[in-house]
Chains A and B, each alone.
Chain A
């Protein structure tokens, strides 16, 4: 009976082979956390704008630097991945798309859409 207290309560991630289903699920939470931390950037840019011309130009110089662009590029991909996969989750919430072929297909569409939207945004920018 001692063992009942030590039984695994949730799957051991390290013994499962990575699959598109689990990887996309983990990415959804990962990008969600990244975006939550990324709200700091939103607040930073908006307060810089509210601060006036000088602080606005300074913030744009930082965000427009090479490192700034790398961070923003990763951030936009995380945003569009979380958005696309979020729509996939909303579809699941209505009870549709749970069969395996559809799960794989919608997963591939989400990954494709995240990159298309990211590239589109950087073409606009």
Chain B
């Protein structure tokens, strides 16, 4: 039985890993997502009900392709960073935590890659 409080045991040991970079990148992606999200949300909304050819032609415009690709990449990156904090906050068993983190990241990489390739496929192949 240790007489030390959890705080005393942790204090003075220094940083555990790369918290500052995580924090900073979460803010960087947040700042980028403000204009990206507003543009994508309203641009997609204005194409609701449009047929395939119209939407495909819209995707093929260079500005649309750029904005959608940037949005998907940044949004999935931001989601991964947010879920990392959530998992670290609530899952305290090391094995379960690492498994959840790895699984979450791999799933988001899969979904993000698939989304970006879909955007590019429509943009370049129609």
Residues of A within 8 A of B (CB): 1-2, 4, 9, 29, 32-33, 35-36, 39-40, 42-43, 46-47, 49-50, 52-53, 56-57, 76, 79-80, 83, 86-87, 89-90, 93, 120-122, 124-125
Flag if A39 contacts B86 (CB, 8 Å): no
Let me know if B111 and A40 touch, CB within 8 A: yes
Instruction: From known contacts A56-B52, A83-B37, A93-B27, infer whether A9 and B6 are also in contact, taking CB-CB under 8 Å.
Output: yes
Cβ A42 vs Cβ B45 within 8 A:
no
B91 within 8 A of partner (CB)? no
B33 touches A83 (CB 8 A): yes
Decide yes or no whether B41 CB sits under 8 A from chain A: yes
Q: Is the interface of B mostly helix, strand, loop or mixed?
A: helix
B residues in contact (CB < 8 Å) with A: 1, 3, 5-6, 27, 30-31, 33-34, 37-38, 41-42, 45-46, 48, 52, 55-56, 59, 72, 75-76, 79, 82-83, 86, 108, 111-112, 114-115, 117-119, 121-122
Q: What are 23 inter-chain pairs, A to B, with CB distance below 8 A?
A: A9-B6, A32-B86, A35-B79, A36-B79, A39-B75, A39-B108, A39-B111, A39-B115, A40-B111, A42-B111, A42-B115, A43-B118, A46-B122, A47-B114, A49-B52, A49-B118, A49-B122, A80-B41, A83-B37, A89-B30, A90-B31, A124-B42, A124-B46
- For the residues of A in contact with B, the DSSP-based class is helix
- Beta-carbon contact of A87 and B42 below 8 Å: no
> Is there an interface contact between B117 and A50, defined as CB atoms closer than 8 Å?
yes
Give chain A residues whose Cβ lies under 8 Å from the Cβ of B117: 50
Beyond A49-B55, A50-B117, A57-B52, is A83–B82 a contact (Cβ under 8 Å)? no
